[in-house]
Chain A
Amino acid sequence: NAGVTQTPKFQVLKTGQSMTLQCAQDMNHNSMYWYRQDPGMGLRLIYYSASEGTTDKGEVPNGYNVSRLNKREFSLRLESAAPSQTSVYFCASRLTASSYNSPLHFGNGTRLTVT
């Protein structure tokens, strides 16, 4: 039972380069989320997808785009990476967006460094 799988685990980019972070879940969850984690700031929501076919902005969406490829997969794209995007990125999923009895499951993160 893999849960939420993120690839890659580590990545180093130069300023201006682009890349896509991949996320897949095998729990048949409807809702998926992208968070970033920075020291002393907790986790902040970038984008989310309440259900297949829908996406919406979170707290810090600037510089990112997302694609809900299908029910299992939700990718995060950096079109032109900036040093301020150096962070640890976490993908998460839950069964539904509004059900209380549905814990948020996190992947193990992608550590991204932009030089």
Chain B
Amino acid sequence: GENVEQHPSTLSVQEGDSAVIKCTYSDSASNYFPWYKQELGKGPQLIIDIRSNVGEKKDQRIAVTLNKTAKHFSLHITETQPEDSAVYFCAAPYAGGTSYGKLTFGQGTILTVHP
């Protein structure tokens, strides 16, 4: 099965700074990489995802980059705001391939944005 490692486990930034969270995966057959944001007391919510046929995807202040050769992908948040404070999870298909609902998650990153 897939193995996903996520770093760092905690990240503290000042408002307006950028934040970067990195994940590595083990299964070269994986082709879908979502990122989830989880606020306190809530379930995870998809914020952005990328398929393996592109190297980068942007959505306003959020971007995801993918390096298939090195088997890692990263979440970039620019101009961070206090409301970006949450736990962020990366994920990849559980058994590789295209089972997009069966996901293996990273360990999570607690992002704190200080005003």
CA distance A109 to B38 in the complex (A): 11
User: Is A42 in contact with B89, judged by CB distance below 8 angstroms?
Assistant: yes
Is A18's CB within 8 Å of the partner chain B?
no
Q: Mark A78-114, 1 if CB is under 8 A from B, else 0.
A: 0000000000001010100111101110111100000
Is B96's CB within 8 Å of the partner chain A?
no
Q: Mark B1-16, 1 if CB is under 8 A from A, else 0.
A: 1001010010000000
CA distance A92 to B107 in the complex (A): 18
Kindly state the interface size class of chain B when it binds its partner: 20 to 34
User: Is B46 in contact with A103, judged by CB distance below 8 angstroms?
Assistant: yes
Partner of A45, one of B6, B44, B49, B94: B94
Closest 5 CB pairs of A and B: A106-B43, A42-B105, A43-B105, A103-B46, A94-B101
Is B45's CB within 8 Å of the partner chain A?
yes
Is A2's CB within 8 Å of the partner chain B?
no
When distances are taken between beta carbons in the complex, the residues of chain A under 8 Å from B32 are 100
CA distance A92 to B91 in the complex (A): 15
Is B61's CB within 8 Å of the partner chain A?
no
Partner of B46, one of A31, A48, A50, A104: A104
Interface size on A, residues (CB 8 A): 27
Given contacts A92-B101, A94-B100, contact A4 B106 (CB under 8 A): no
**13 CB < 8 A contacts A-B:** A33-B101, A40-B9, A42-B4, A42-B89, A45-B102, A48-B101, A50-B101, A58-B94, A59-B1, A102-B100, A103-B34, A106-B43, A106-B45
User: Is B51 in contact with A100, judged by CB distance below 8 angstroms?
Assistant: yes
When distances are taken between beta carbons in the complex, the residues of chain B under 8 Å from A50 are 101
